[in-house]
């Protein structure tokens, strides 16, 4: 047993559900108890989804414990098949159902005899893999299933260079914006987009995957298994360099160039990269500008998923001259890759591989950097320690699903990240200067204008009650109650009077 109240990545079934619900016309049926369908709330709230999340639960209750759930699961699958006419139904086990050890595969087989849709059982072990690993696996499982199923799979490539983007999915950090940015980038490079999976795509299109010249995997966590699978089985080359920051974007484009050249399409992107870097994007010039000199030697720490932690660290160190003391990730399964990446940046950066938020909190307190780049948890640690924090990775809150265009990838992404980093540090500086010079002199003015010179007596319990009222409205409510007391010729304010005043004012 482990004592915990916060985790960086969720349980395995969340990963499976994220992939399933990203596809169009795929329905997931969770095998779990009442209340395990919290994913629907997140999809509907965080992403402000307009449509009903295509996920239902086959509820595990006492009856199921007593009789087994075969009948129920099969009924639920066939019912959804008729109601929603999906192309694919994925039966998703939860931690509860995995202890029951029922033969879910057999249920799928039984149900498939009666359904028009394909039926799959998500193949993930709840106690061994995290949300991200499960998502990665489920995507590979679906791709594998549909490529196998398709008997007239074409080996013919498209006429012009084309790419599959693997790694567009829901509830991911700034993903929608990243994908738009990638589309823009490929269009500039004159490369056609073959398929983008899984978000918004249909499983019927998966048979087209092999037509692309190569695969592009922007994120380390989800899509990598699919990329390596397609390489192994269909000999499709892939690129897994995340285009975060000017330097990495250039690297990424150069390896695309290499792949295309090897495939006989001679092309040179050097001029494009140079033009974008120096004149279209602002971030290279920004890091040369005078303002940015102030960042040199500033101390920062970075924590997040493997992709973003490495990406941001590269920008901080290589593009802005910031001193990254340590860089960590909670993606424990990717430890070796992570450490190797850090070595290529700077040997002095200490790698931290943990999913214990307390440890990270302590490490931040120990170093007291000038800025933190991390998840929502690190933002809150920063608040407590008075250190500014830029949020660069999931897990995130609703404010990290912005309405406006905020990619992290590509040239516009580089602009966005530069702003984020710069704003984090200047806010810290401003704060620091304010402290040195005694702060903005507004506190006295405020309290003077708010105080009431009344001689009313507040009993101890009413004072306590008053403290429970949120600070920003407290003085207003206090004034209203006192006004009420004065109007009624009362000298002492009791609980009864407080409530009477509340009623009278409402």
Q: Residue 125 or 423: which CB sits closer to another protein?
A: 125
C-alpha to C-alpha distance for 255 and 63, rounded to whole angstroms: 57
Near another protein in 13-72, by CB under 8 A:
13-14, 32-38, 40-42, 44-45, 48-53, 56-57, 59-62, 65
| Beta carbon of residue 242, minimum distance to another protein (angstroms, whole number) | 26
The two tokens of residue 437 are 């010079």
For another protein, what does the binding mask look like between residues 413 and 452, x meaning CB under 8 A? ----------------------------------------
Q: Residue 14 or 320: which CB sits closer to another protein?
A: 14
C-alpha to C-alpha distance for 356 and 346, rounded to whole angstroms: 25
| Beta carbon of residue 372, minimum distance to another protein (angstroms, whole number) | 14
Near another protein in 70-99, by CB under 8 A:
76, 83, 94-96, 99
Q: Residue 42 or 122: which CB sits closer to another protein?
A: 42
| Beta carbon of residue 506, minimum distance to another protein (angstroms, whole number) | 5
374 makes contact with another protein (CB under 8 A) = no
In three-state secondary structure terms, 166 is: strand
Query: Which range in 120-128, 252-260, 278-286, 327-335 contacts another protein by CB under 8 A?
Result: 120-128
Q: Residue 86 or 218: which CB sits closer to another protein?
A: 86
Q: Residue 7 or 153: which CB sits closer to another protein?
A: 7
502 makes contact with another protein (CB under 8 A) = yes
| Beta carbon of residue 218, minimum distance to another protein (angstroms, whole number) | 25
Report which secondary-structure segment, H or E, holds 32: strand 26-32
The two tokens of residue 238 are 């892939």
Alpha helices in 23-91 (DSSP H): 38-46, 62-67, 70-84
The two tokens of residue 141 are 């499982």
| Beta carbon of residue 335, minimum distance to another protein (angstroms, whole number) | 19
385 makes contact with another protein (CB under 8 A) = no
Query: Which range in 11-19, 324-332, 363-371, 479-487 contacts another protein by CB under 8 A?
Result: 11-19
Closest by Cα among 295, 282, 330 to 309 = 330
Residue stretches of the annotated binding site for substrate:
428-429
| Beta carbon of residue 461, minimum distance to another protein (angstroms, whole number) | 8
Residue stretches of the annotated binding site:
36, 428-429
Q: Looking at the annotation, which residues are catalytic?
A: 291
Tell me if the bond preceding 395 is cis, omega within 30° of 0: yes
C-alpha to C-alpha distance for 28 and 16, rounded to whole angstroms: 9
Residue 495: which residues within 8 A CB-CB, separation 6 or more? 459, 461, 462, 465
Which of 192, 254, 380, 483 is close enough to bind another protein by CB under 8 A? 380
| Beta carbon of residue 10, minimum distance to another protein (angstroms, whole number) | 4
Which of 68, 70, 126, 490 is close enough to bind another protein by CB under 8 A? 126
Please check whether residue 244 is in contact with residue 311, taking contact to mean a CB–CB distance below 8 angstroms. yes
Q: Residue 359 or 450: which CB sits closer to another protein?
A: 359
Angle ∠(390,396,399) on CA atoms, nearest 5: 80
Binding residue count for another protein, defined by CB under 8 A: 58
Closest by Cα among 357, 427, 440, 328 to 386 = 427
474 makes contact with another protein (CB under 8 A) = no
147 makes contact with another protein (CB under 8 A) = no
Residue 85: which residues within 8 A CB-CB, separation 6 or more? 25, 116, 117
In three-state secondary structure terms, 265 is: coil
| Beta carbon of residue 377, minimum distance to another protein (angstroms, whole number) | 8
Burial 1-11 (b: 16+ CB within 10 A, else e): eeeeeebbbbb
Which residues is 59 bridged to in the sheet?
Answer: 32
C-alpha to C-alpha distance for 314 and 321, rounded to whole angstroms: 10
Q: Residue 33 or 68: which CB sits closer to another protein?
A: 33
Q: What is the DSSP letter of 209?
A: G
| Beta carbon of residue 99, minimum distance to another protein (angstroms, whole number) | 5
403 makes contact with another protein (CB under 8 A) = no
Angle ∠(447,452,455) on CA atoms, nearest 5: 140
Q: Residue 44 or 454: which CB sits closer to another protein?
A: 44
Residue 26 burial (10 A CB sphere; 0-12, 13-18, 19+): buried
In three-state secondary structure terms, 389 is: strand
Which of 397, 474, 476, 492 is close enough to bind another protein by CB under 8 A? 397
Q: Residue 100 or 345: which CB sits closer to another protein?
A: 100
C-alpha to C-alpha distance for 315 and 241, rounded to whole angstroms: 14
Strands 371-374 and 389-391: parallel
492 makes contact with another protein (CB under 8 A) = no
Which of 68, 100, 205, 259 is close enough to bind another protein by CB under 8 A? 100
- Tell me how crowded residue 437 is: count the other CB atoms within 10 A of its CB: 9
Angle ∠(427,9,203) on CA atoms, nearest 5: 115
Interface positions with another protein (CB under 8 A): 1-7, 10-11, 13-14, 32-38, 40-42, 44-45, 48-53, 56-57, 59-62, 65, 76, 83, 94-96, 99-100, 126-128, 377, 380, 383, 397, 465, 468, 495-496, 499, 502-503, 506
């Amino acid at each position: 047993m482990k004592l915990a109240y916060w985790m960086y990545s969720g349980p395995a079934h969340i990963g499976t559900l994220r992939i399933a619900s990203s596809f169009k016309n795929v329905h997931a049926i969770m095998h779990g108890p009442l209340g395990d369908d919290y994913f629907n709330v997140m999809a509907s709230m965080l992403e402000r989804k307009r449509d009903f999340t295509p996920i239902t639960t086959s509820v595990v209750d006492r009856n199921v414990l007593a009789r087994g759930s075969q009948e129920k699961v099969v009924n639920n699958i066939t019912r959804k098949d008729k109601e929603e006419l999906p192309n694919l139904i994925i039966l998703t086990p939860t931690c509860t159902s995995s202890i029951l050890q029922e033969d879910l595969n057999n249920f799928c087989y039984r149900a498939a005899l009666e359904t028009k849709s394909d039926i799959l059982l998500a193949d993930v072990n709840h106690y061994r893999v995290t949300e991200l690993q499960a998502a990665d696996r489920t995507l590979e499982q679906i791709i594998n299933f549909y490529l196998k199923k398709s008997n007239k799979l074409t080996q013919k490539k498209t006429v012009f260079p084309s790419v599959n983007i693997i790694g567009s999915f829901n509830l991911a950090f700034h993903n929608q914006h990243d994908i738009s940015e990638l589309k823009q980038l490929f269009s500039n490079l004159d490369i056609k987009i073959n398929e983008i999976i899984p978000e918004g795509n249909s499983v019927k299109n998966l048979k087209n995957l092999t037509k692309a010249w190569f695969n592009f995997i922007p994120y380390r966590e989800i899509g990598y298994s699919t990329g390596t699978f397609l390489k192994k089985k269909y000999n499709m080359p892939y690129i897994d360099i995340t285009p975060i920051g000017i330097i990495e974007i250039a690297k990424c484009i150069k390896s695309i160039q290499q792949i295309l050249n090897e495939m006989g399409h001679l092309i040179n992107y050097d001029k494009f990269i140079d033009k974008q870097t120096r004149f279209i994007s602002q971030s290279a010039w920004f890091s040369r500008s005078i303002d940015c000199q102030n960042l040199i030697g500033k101390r920062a720490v970075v924590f997040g998923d493997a992709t973003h932690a490495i990406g941001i660290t590269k920008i901080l160190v290589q593009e802005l001259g910031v001193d990254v003391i340590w860089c960590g990730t909670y993606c424990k399964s990717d430890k070796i890759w992570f450490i190797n990446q850090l070595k290529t940046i700077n040997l002095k950066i200490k790698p931290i591989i943990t999913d214990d938020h307390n440890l990270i909190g302590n490490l931040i307190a120990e170093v007291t950097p000038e800025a933190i780049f991390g998840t929502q948890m690190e933002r809150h640690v920063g608040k407590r320690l008075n250190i500014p924090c830029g949020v660069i990775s999931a897990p995130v809150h609703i404010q990290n699903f912005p309405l406006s265009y905020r990619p992290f990838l590509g040239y516009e992404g580089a602009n966005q990240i530069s702003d984020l980093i710069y704003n984090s540090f200047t806010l810290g500086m401003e704060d620091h200067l304010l402290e040195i010079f005694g702060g903005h002199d507004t506190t006295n003015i405020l309290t003077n204008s708010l105080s009431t010179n009344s001689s009313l007596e507040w009993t101890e319990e009413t004072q306590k009650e008053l403290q429970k009222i949120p600070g920003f409205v407290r003085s207003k409510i206090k004034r209203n109650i006192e006004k009420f007391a004065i109007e009624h010729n009362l000298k002492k304010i009791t609980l009864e009077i407080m409530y009477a005043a509340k009623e009278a004012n409402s």
